[in-house]
Structure 1
Amino acid sequence: MAIRKIIKEGDPILRTKCRPVTVFDEKLHQLLDDMHETLDKAEGVGLAAPQVGYCRRFFIMHLGDMRIEAINPEIKKVSGKQYVLEGCLSVPNKWGYVTRPNKCKFRAQNRNGEWYEMTLTALGAQCVCHEKAHLDGQLFIDVVEEFVDPEELEKA
């Protein structure tokens, strides 16, 4: 496994709509493993393929002990609202409040190409929506309702 470089705001790949994954092979498995290691080191919650330089439709999430790999994800249903503080590994030192669904049902493939469905709430729903947006070339700063000074966060 290897730590991948996280692409930062300004790189055009972060604004590109990603293509579907069609090959589920060892190369994909290695990239997913590397992304898990990269996310652990960065101490983040989610990481999308374009954030490590791959214009493909998949992301990973770490929610407590649960490690989720979502390939070719489709959001099926959302409900509720939560006004939450958000940041992004590709947009360092910027934080802001966004409104996200409080519940999200999505469908995706695992690393072997098998489809599954999952429903997540709270942070999980927030993360699915944030990471899925990356696959469409959108960043959280596009939907921030109020930016927060990082120094104010440190005081809290």
Structure 2
Amino acid sequence: MAVYQIVKMGEDILREKAQEVKKITPNILKLLENLTDTLYASQGVGLAAPQIGISKRVAVVDIGDGLFELINPVIIERYGEEIDKEGCLSIPGIQGEVKRSAKVVVQCQDREGNLVQYAGEGFLARAFQHEIDHLDGVLFVDLAPEVYKV
């Protein structure tokens, strides 16, 4: 498909709530492919549609255990808390310590439009939360008490 340039902090689209996907169309399937190609080319672990300039509630996550495609994701359960460092492809060279739920259950649609749930803990839970935040216009720097250059 295509590798897109990643939108950097300062662009308005990163601060907007992304639009809900009302119907799984060929364009949405193409968006999933483009997000995946861009994610792997950038060597990231997650990417949301606003990060490639598209206001849709779509994200992909792969922490090394396989790809998760998330359409209209919502966190329906949260457990525990943990603090760990985060970075972001849209904010290169910056990291910060962010408090997140230690385990989450995400409900979303898959590429066929079926409602599915994914449970994640540790790094996977963090990646899910980070990407869903992108869909709501929230960046990790908004949640980190302090950030630092790496």
TM superposition score category, shorter chain reference: over 0.9
Unaligned ranges ≥5, structure 2: none
* 1:96 aligned residue: 96
TM-score normalized by structure 1? Answer: 0.93
Structure 1 residues 149 and 8: alpha-carbon distance in aligned structure 2, compared to 1, 3 A threshold: closer
Higher CA-based Rg: 1
Instruction: Tell me if 1:135 matches 2:135.
Output: yes
- Local SS of the residue matching 1:148: strand
* 2:16 aligned residue: 16
Render the CA deviation track for 1:67-124: whole Å, top value 9, x for unaligned: 0011011111111111111000011111111111110011000112111011100011
Say whether the 8 Å CA contact 2:32–2:58 is kept in structure 1. no
Instruction: Give the Cα separation in 2 of the matches to 1:65 and 1:97.
Output: 24
Give the count of matched residue pairs.
150
Q: Which runs of 4+ in 1 moved over 6 A?
A: none
- Local SS of the residue matching 1:56: coil
Matched AA of 1:12: D
* 1:45 aligned residue: 45
Structure 1 residue 28: Cα displacement: 1.1
Instruction: Give the Cα separation in 2 of the matches to 1:65 and 1:124.
Output: 9
* 1:154 aligned residue: none
Instruction: Give the Cα separation in 1 of the matches to 2:15 and 2:3.
Output: 23
Structure 1 residue 125: Cα displacement: 0.5
Q: Give the alignment of 1:6-155 within 5 angstroms.
A: 6-150=6-150
Say whether the 8 Å CA contact 1:59–1:69 is kept in structure 2. yes
Unaligned ranges ≥5, structure 1: 151-156
Identity %: 37
Matched AA of 2:109: Q
Instruction: Give the Cα separation in 2 of the matches to 1:111 and 1:141.
Output: 31
- Local SS of the residue matching 2:54: coil
Task: Give me the CA root mean square deviation.
Answer: 0.9
Instruction: Give the Cα separation in 2 of the matches to 1:31 and 1:117.
Output: 21
Say whether the 8 Å CA contact 2:13–2:53 is kept in structure 1. yes
Say whether the 8 Å CA contact 1:96–1:147 is kept in structure 2. yes
Q: Which sits farther off after the overlay, 109-118 or 140-149?
A: 140-149
Structure 1 residue 65: Cα displacement: 3.2
